[in-house]
Structure 1
Amino acid sequence: MTGRASTERLSRLLAMVPYLLRHQGIPLEEAAGHFGISTEQLVHDLELLFVCGTPGHLPDDLIDARWESGRVYLSNADPLARPSRLAVDEAVALLVGLRTLAQVPGLHDREALDGALAKLSRAAGEAAGAAAAAASAVAVDVRVDDRDPRGQEVAARVLAAAQTALRENRRLHLRYLVPSRDERTERDVDPMRLVSVEGRWYLEGWCHRAEGVRLFRVDRIEEAVVLDADGTPPPRAASRDVDADLFRPSPDDVVVTLDLAPRAAWVADYYPVESVTEPGEDAWSEAASRVRLRTADTRWVRRLLLRLGAGARVVDPPELAVDVREAAVHALDAYACHQPGEQPGEQPGERPGERPG
């Protein structure tokens, strides 16, 4: 079971206990329908509840769940049915987190956040003042690339433009870099949301050029202009599950495996890779990591490898390694024939006016 599925199941179980206590004898099918699960899944959940209880419990303190008759009966679960209450330290920590979140650029569900803050502040009482002081000392710094200050300035402008477009429901015009094709594209986008995934910001929106929902990495948006046009996405535009479906590989993609030296480790952060592992026994001696990535066109990978030079080696496919080697040899030959300061027609190493004897 994945982490996300486990979290969903835990939330369901915590909601299931008070519900079943209030609806003793409810048919299995009706209870399953209430939670949007199958009858089989409900039985699995009841089997798990059967071995649950409060911390430090004795065997007689376990929840008693019965469903053999086709109806569900629950007992010995009153402590779990009581409303949960936050301790003061928990409330303060949550308030600090929410106040910090309020500083994040691109957050557009402001009403829900403000409402949660107001309710927690009232419940926390005097502790809310301490939370406010603690939150004020927390700095939120949204960075796209620490190595590129200019890139951060561009990203800040892009985030501000996207936030304005979302707030005012207006269309955006983007100039976007597509590394897999090493090209810049111009496109109009109806923004849907800004989302942060694994420390990177993405703009999700309806792309009129592709006629579909697309995710745009903010650090690859070179320019974002808010247009004087309605930015309402069409009814068929549906947000993607970025946790499970950030990238959609094609079965026709080429799988490329590279060994990277420490100085080329940034490749795994900048490009979408399938995996990053320790180099194997067959690895290049300078390798610090081995990455796998998918691409529809290996030409950009070849250009990347020529740029990395001695910082990377191709493990697979072998034809890419041959292609890169030949391109490097050709580039070196061209460089040797035209050293800086030489005039056309001179032999390499000649000075003006000199000829070999």
Structure 2
Amino acid sequence: MDRTERFYKIELLLRSRGSVSFAVLREELDVSPATLKRDLQYLRDRLNAPIVYDAFDNGYRFDAAATRGERHELPGMWFSENEIHALLTMHQLLAGLDDDGVLSRHLQPMLERLQGMLGADAAESRELMRRIKVIGTARRRVPSRWFELLGSALVQRRRLWLRYFKRSDRRESEREVSPQRLVHYRGTWYLDAWCHASDGLRRFALDAVREAKLLDTKAKNVPVRELEAALDAGYGIYGGGDTKVKWATLLFDADAAQWVASEEWHPQQKSRHLPDGRYELQVPYADATELTMDILRHGDSVTVAGDKALAAAIAQRLKSALSRYA
């Protein structure tokens, strides 16, 4: 049994039998004397268990005077060592997405408790966290005050007033929105919300929020299926909205196929390997902006098939780029 199970077993034995000898505890737990001593010490020092040694009975028991008649109970939240290691790993992964320590600040008390629960293995947990590294590129940082405010509005189901900078026309506008979902995508955070000014679902980049206020008005609720259909149907962060979704067919050369075949460009993508070694990938898109950038990233290793408008847009971007190096 793991250490957590041993703690519960020790408590159960002391509570049911009153006084239990060291030898009996060892036999019941099937551990070494050193391990049992560490467990008893940990229960006393870290979990405030009033365990005392009774010389008259030659055994361990709960100190009735210390508990003042109340039965000692272990804390409610307990995990096995493997579960704690998994949670510590998850914490480190979250830290890689954490701007200004927003998440870490709130999770730190739980992190310290998890490390404390490992006792002698606390050093091991810290070493584990140093072995997990998340590298983010081109991150657009979000001020912590907006992240916390918008997250709070989402949980409380309340509306928000936003002063928002729209990059496409370089103008600011004021919006009243009902938050529906926070999305982390390619190095930055977005808020999916119902915009009451445009009467529809919109996606807002948190780093473009200039000002935000929490309103007392209850937020409009949009079913998750409707949210996904409206914003997740197309390619990337430009999911679709009111724009009709089209499908792009991309043909990758055999060399590029070795890498692209392992990538997910869209949850609904369709793909197949061609007899000549090439790789065909079909993805839905509504706005070609982000798809165009990803296609250009593969240079001369990819060709757009069938979609003349998209192929022409790619060709124009390549010509424009070439003209800068003429």
Same fold (TM over 0.5): no
Q: TM-score, normalised by structure 1?
A: 0.42
Q: TM-score, normalised by structure 2?
A: 0.45
